[in-house]
């Protein structure tokens, strides 16, 4: 997500020639201070069955089947139509919740295990692809003989085992938790 890290550390200092070096680097918090913003979703979330709780449930259910941006757009539309507009029509004030605020809230303030695990699985898979293409094997340009680097191969196998463990959890206990949480939608009862 843009804004969390200003730059990644480079292994080769010559790669970062375009970056200005104003001084020594010192340890700091991984999240930037500007990320500590006033979040209306955190502020107005209640223990009862509020619209924000319904939005949280929708986000949870849509994760894994819908793109994150589409989820945030849908949730913003839900809030606008079902909460904000009716309040404005009555002459009452209602905070505006934007897609950007939803993106920040659901990526930094609220954990979604399925989303975290799916991104972790994809990241490990991309690391494996990089290892396979650039570090596991070398070819002699004169003879054409391929050699495997045992250390890189060992790292690739570790990544593979880690990915398989994540997939097992994603398809096992995590999917069972989802099945328990999903229930029938019942009509609203007026009393």
Q: What is this structure's pTM?
A: 0.59
For residue 61, what are its two tokens? 């259910």
The number of domains in the chain is 2
> Cα(first)–Cα(last) distance of the chain, in Å?
45
**What is the DSSP annotation of 129-188?**
HHHHHHTSEEE-TTT--EEE-HHHHHHHHHHHHHHHHHHHHHHTHHHHHHHHH-----PP
- Would you give per-residue pLDDT tens digits along the chain (191 residues)? 444 444 544 444 455 455 556 678 887 766 555 555 678 888 777 655 678 888 888 888 888 788 889 999 999 999 999 888 998 999 988 888 899 999 988 888 888 888 888 889 999 999 999 888 888 888 889 998 998 888 988 998 999 999 999 999 888 887 777 655 544 445 545 44
Residue 138 inside a domain? The answer is yes
Residue 22 inside a domain? The answer is no
For residue 149, what are its two tokens? 């680097």
Q: Of the residues 110, 126, 161, which one is the last residue of a structural domain? A: 110
Domain limits at 143?
A: 112-180
- Picking from 143, 62, 136, the residue whose alpha carbon sits closest to that of residue 106 is 62
- The reply to whether 70 and 120 lie within a common domain is no
C-alpha to C-alpha distance for 159 and 124, rounded to whole angstroms: 6
C-alpha to C-alpha distance for 90 and 73, rounded to whole angstroms: 25
- The reply to whether 156 and 134 lie within a common domain is yes
pLDDT of residue 34: 52
| Alpha carbons within 13 A on the beta-carbon side of 79 | 25
In the chain, what's the furthest Cα-to-Cα distance?
84
Supply the DSSP symbol for 190. Answer: P
Residue 7 inside a domain? The answer is no
- The reply to whether 101 and 129 lie within a common domain is no
Residue 142 inside a domain? The answer is yes
- The reply to whether 102 and 147 lie within a common domain is no
- The reply to whether 131 and 163 lie within a common domain is yes
C-alpha to C-alpha distance for 10 and 47, rounded to whole angstroms: 45
The answer for residues whose C-beta is within 8 angstroms of residue 59's C-beta and 6 or more apart is 71, 75, 106, 110, 112
C-alpha to C-alpha distance for 161 and 181, rounded to whole angstroms: 29
C-alpha to C-alpha distance for 32 and 29, rounded to whole angstroms: 7
Residue 116 inside a domain? The answer is yes
């Amino acid at each position: 997500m843009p804004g969390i890290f200003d730059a990644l550390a480079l292994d080769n200092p010559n790669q970062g020639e375009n970056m200005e070096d104003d001084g020594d680097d010192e340890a700091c918090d991984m999240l930037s201070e500007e990320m500590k913003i006033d979040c209306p979703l955190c502020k107005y979330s209640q223990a009862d069955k509020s619209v924000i709780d319904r939005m949280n449930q929708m986000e949870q259910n849509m994760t894994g089947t819908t793109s994150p941006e589409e989820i945030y757009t849908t949730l913003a539309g839900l809030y606008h139509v079902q909460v904000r507009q009716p309040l404005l029509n009555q002459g009452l004030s209602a905070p505006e919740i934007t897609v950007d605020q939803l993106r920040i809230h659901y990526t930094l303030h609220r954990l979604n295990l399925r989303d975290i695990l799916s991104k972790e699985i994809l990241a490990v898979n991309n690391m494996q692809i990089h290892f396979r293409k650039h570090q596991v094997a070398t070819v002699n340009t004169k003879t054409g003989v391929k050699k495997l680097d045992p250390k890189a191969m060992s790292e690739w196998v570790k990544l593979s085992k880690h990915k398989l463990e994540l997939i097992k959890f994603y398809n096992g206990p995590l999917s069972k938790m989802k099945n328990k949480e999903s229930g029938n939608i019942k009509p609203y009862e007026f009393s």
